[in-house]
Amino acid sequence: MKIFTAMKNKKYNDEAVSPVIGVIMMVAVTVILAAVVTAFVFGTYGNIPGVRIVMFTTERISTTQVSVVFDGGADAALIEKLTLTFPDGIFPTTMAGTNGTLSVGQTMIITNIPANSHLIGVGTFVDGSQQVVIDTTI
């Protein structure tokens, strides 16, 4: 008889989520909403600059020479110069346009470049903005 009496007096918890978890979830949602509203109010969300689309081809033409060719792209008319840097200790080299912007097909040959050199090319555009357009090992 004692078994049935114990089961009869047992309370069952029909709640799906404990009140503590519910409060934590409400605080998390409030913090996320506050962050989104703050980003819009202070303008950190809408002022992301667009990416320029230009293309360069790099090719090793000998054991010590590298060729860099400007192949164009959607923003080809907007690029003024390309600055090539070799972090391996080789000084920067610049490819500049003759009429203020680079011409499609314009080629530059760089000499004394050891094998497996890391090449980084930063394009400078007519509005003064800069963007990495080459990042390769050659």
Dihedral class, residue 112 (left if φ above 0, else alpha if ψ from -120 to 50, else beta): left
Domains and CATH numbers, the chain: 2-41 (no CATH), 55-137 (2.60.40.10)
Can you give the pLDDT at residue 92? Answer: 80
What is the C-alpha separation between 53 and 92, in angstroms, rounded?
A: 23
Nearest to 71 by CA among 104, 93, 43: 104
Q: Are 85 and 118 a contacting pair, CB within 8 Å?
A: no
| Tens-binned pLDDT, residue by residue, of the chain (138 aa) | 555 555 566 666 666 667 888 889 999 999 999 998 887 777 766 666 788 999 999 999 999 899 999 999 999 999 999 999 887 666 788 888 777 788 899 999 988 888 888 899 999 999 999 999 999 998
Can you give the pLDDT at residue 99? Answer: 75
